[in-house]
Amino acid sequence: MSKRFTVLTLFPELINAYRDVGVIRKACESNVIEIDTINPRDYAQSSNGRVDDTPYGGGPGMVMTAGPVYRALAGLKTDKAQTRHVIYLSPQGKTFNHSAINSLNHYDHLIFLCGRYEGVDERIVLNSVDSEWSIGDYVVTGGELPALVMIDALARTLPNVLGSELSSIEDSFHSGLLDYPHYTRPAEIEGHAVPEVLMSGDHGMIASWRRKQSLGRTYLRRPELLEKMSLSDEDIMLLESFLEDN
């Protein structure tokens, strides 16, 4: 059974364009994942397909009306054997991170509600949404980009999506640390050489060097991540060595 992602959006072409390229396209073609879209305009009852109105109480902007969104969600068929979870993308949501991937991937069918204008009628959020998520402390024009970010991050951790299963395991944040630096041919360019240890063939030394770089990068760039970890004596020695070198 493929993992299913459904996106409720006024601009399905944004989702479809991303679905049809790269790793995500290949995952869809091999039926590892399924990405489809639903346009709330198709559930509007007005002749012009209107899905927004002015906010009660006044104020700037428009609000997506509850009716079309509610009917779109109600008409969304899900296999009874599947577990489903409705996500609303909003700046008020919890910040999406790697630990969220593990919890959300327990669901067979994830439904993303993309707000536009000033957002959606709060009654939809209170009665039809299971969780709210944000991709950062800033505002973007709509929920489509955050939805794509989450779908990409969720999909790449699934079996058979990436070329190598180790790719997602070695990603930044999987171990709680930032990723180590990567190099490829040529061995030297513009006077800058690849670290000799990576060409030594000594897998133990390479693993130690990579761990050292991950620890050091995390200390310099995201020190709060190290505070959440319990470092081994070897990790502490590697970190100290990194700081001495830098």
**H/E element holding 52?**
strand 52-53
- In total, the chain counts a number of residues equal to 246
Q: Dihedral (C-alpha) 9, 54, 91, 123: value to the nearest 10 degrees?
A: -80
Q: Which residues pair with 95 in a beta bridge?
A: 134
Main-chain phi, psi angles of 64, to 5 degrees: -65, 130
Residue 142 tokens read as 């709509």
Known catalytic residues are 91, 118, 156, 171
Using DSSP's 3-state secondary structure scheme, residue 79 falls into coil
- The Cα 121–Cα 135 span in angstroms is 21
Q: Is 235 exposed, middle or buried (0-12, 13-18, 19+ CB in 10 A)?
A: middle
- The Cα 10–Cα 114 span in angstroms is 8
Give the residue from 68, 78, 87, 186 showing the smallest Cα distance to 128: 87
Give the residue from 66, 57, 16, 65 showing the smallest Cα distance to 36: 16
- The Cα 97–Cα 109 span in angstroms is 19
